[in-house]
């Protein structure tokens, strides 16, 4: 007859209690954390699947972070452009409603009568004051206020990054150096001063060509980007594009530059209109007037106030068209940014869907059913208590109890 020794039975009970205790500790951790194990090695054959899923999840997180930054910068840029456009629309509305039927200049009309002829011509040749009237002065004040505000919008930032400098995010894209105002004053002076030689005096077309041109190779009088006040990197077209890496294979470009044509044209038009040399419309003379008297203020070119007025409004109307075209072109800039934002948002949604799938896979591998774990703990506690009772009873055995 074979049997189990008392020591062997005790060791067996101790081993069983240790196993149950380890199981209880594991289940207690699972109940508290919701995880199967605290270490990857505890996942056994599923460890590689879990690690790969987590690595893919983290990679997508990196791209999502890139996308969040890009979306914020695009949103700030669009907000700046929208405000820029709103201010420009205020200027456009003011220009379009400007009544061109009057002289828009203070003072009385100065008439000229040729003393060598018997007829009384009474030709209006100018005004007795060079001050613009309230309407024209109001437009110039509006243009001045808008000009400063537009300049601030071109320098829109996201923390320490300029958003309209292209890849050169540390370089301020625009600065009012005063060169634009000086250049426009010079052009207007050469347009109004009819005593200059033909090579220096500017016609309406030559003045407008200089205002619209950006390259001195196309027009020697061109208002270049450097004159406007754009940074060297923008003026030289070396700013570089801005991209966001949205996945391991794709980048989306969302560049907006402060010197894009509509922004540049609006800045130049506003600077021209606000320029102190733009008014008056007609020549001004000190009274009493005598033929041949020098002007106290030069108006637009022309021998009579009608000619001066016609020339002034030819330029004025072209500036109005320039502003309206810039507003239309600005829609294209916004559309490009909105298109980039839509593509980025689509990619972001795809990443979110992928992360949801990966998270499900990770949860299936690493997580436990807490209800099932709780049930196992209750069962194991009962078993463990029973083991302790059996062990305790065995320790209390005597010869009498044994018999």
CATH number, position 280: 1.20.1330.10
CA–CA gap between residue 276 and residue 279 (Å, rounded): 6
Predicted local distance difference test score (pLDDT) of residue 316: 95
pLDDT of residue 291: 83
Q: Is 201 left (phi over 0), alpha (psi -120 to 50) or beta?
A: beta
Phi and psi, residue 183, nearest 5°: -65, -40
Q: Is residue 395 part of a domain?
A: no
Q: Are 138 and 163 in contact (CB under 8 A)?
A: no
| Residue 27 domain flag | no
pLDDT, tens only, 249-290: 899 999 999 999 999 999 999 999 999 999 999 999 998 888
By residue count, the chain amounts to: 403
DSSP-derived 3-state class of residue 125: strand
Q: Show the beta-strand stretches assigned E in 319-402.
A: none
Residue 284 domain-assigned?
yes
**The pLDDT of residue 399:** 46
At residue 390, the pLDDT reads 64
Residue span of the structural domain in which 159 resides: 56-357
Q: Are 192 and 204 spatial neighbours (Cβ–Cβ below 8 Å)?
A: no
- Structural domain contains residue 40: no
Distance CA(88)–CA(326), nearest Å, equals: 9
Judge whether 210 lies within some domain. Answer: yes
Return the structure tokens found at 142.
Answer: 């509006």
For residue 271, what pLDDT is reported? 97
How many domains does the chain fold into? 1
Contact 242, 296 (CB under 8 A): no
Where the chain has pLDDT below 70, the residues are: 1-17, 19-20, 22-27, 29-47, 50, 115-118, 120, 366-373, 380, 383-403
Q: Which residues contact 249 (CB under 8 A, 6 or more apart)?
A: none
How many CA atoms are closer than 13 Å to the CA of 242, on its beta-carbon side?
25
Domain-located, residue 45 = no
- Is position 181 within any domain? yes
Domain annotation covers residue 80: yes
Tell me, what's the pLDDT at 234?
Answer: 96
């Amino acid at each position: 007859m074979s049997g189990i020794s008392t020591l062997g039975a005790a060791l067996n009970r101790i081993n069983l209690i240790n196993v149950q205790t380890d199981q209880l500790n594991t289940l207690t951790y699972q109940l508290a954390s919701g995880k199967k194990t605290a270490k990857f090695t505890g996942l056994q054959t599923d460890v590689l699947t879990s690690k790969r899923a987590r690595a893919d999840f983290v990679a997508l997180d990196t791209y999502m972070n890139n996308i969040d930054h890009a979306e914020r910068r695009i949103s700030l840029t669009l907000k700046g452009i929208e405000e820029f456009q709103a201010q420009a629309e205020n200027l456009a509305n003011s220009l379009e409603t400007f009544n061109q039927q009057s002289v828009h200049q203070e003072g009385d009309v100065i008439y000229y009568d040729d003393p060598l002829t018997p007829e009384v011509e009474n030709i209006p040749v100018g005004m007795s004051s060079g001050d613009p009237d309230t309407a024209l002065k109001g437009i110039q004040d509006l243009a001045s206020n808008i000009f400063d505000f537009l300049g601030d919008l071109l320098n829109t930032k996201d923390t320490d990054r300029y958003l309209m400098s292209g890849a050169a995010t540390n370089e301020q894209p625009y600065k009012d150096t005063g060169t634009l105002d000086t250049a426009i004053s010079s052009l207007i002076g050469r347009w109004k001063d009819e005593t200059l030689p033909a090579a220096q005096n500017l016609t309406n077309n030559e003045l407008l060509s200089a205002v619209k041109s950006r390259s001195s190779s196309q027009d020697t009088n061109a208002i270049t980007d450097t004159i406007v006040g754009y940074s060297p990197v923008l003026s030289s077209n070396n700013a570089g594009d801005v991209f966001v890496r949205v996945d391991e294979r794709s980048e989306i470009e969302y560049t907006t530059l402060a010197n894009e044509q509509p922004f540049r044209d609006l800045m130049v038009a506003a600077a021209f209109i606000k320029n102190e040399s733009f008014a008056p419309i007609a020549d001004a003379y000190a009274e009493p007037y005598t033929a041949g008297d020098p002007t106290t203020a030069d108006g637009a070119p022309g021998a009579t106030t009608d000619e001066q007025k016609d020339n002034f409004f030819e330029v004025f109307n072209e500036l109005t068209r320039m502003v309206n075209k810039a507003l239309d072109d600005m829609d294209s800039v916004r559309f490009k940014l909105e298109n980039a934002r839509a593509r980025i948002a689509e990619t972001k949604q795809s990443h979110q869907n992928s992360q949801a799938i990966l998270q499900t896979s990770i949860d299936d591998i690493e997580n436990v059913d807490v209800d099932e774990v709780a049930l196992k703990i209750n069962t194991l506690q009962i078993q463990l208590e029973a083991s302790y009772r059996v062990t305790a009873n065995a320790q209390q055995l005597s010869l009498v109890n044994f018999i």
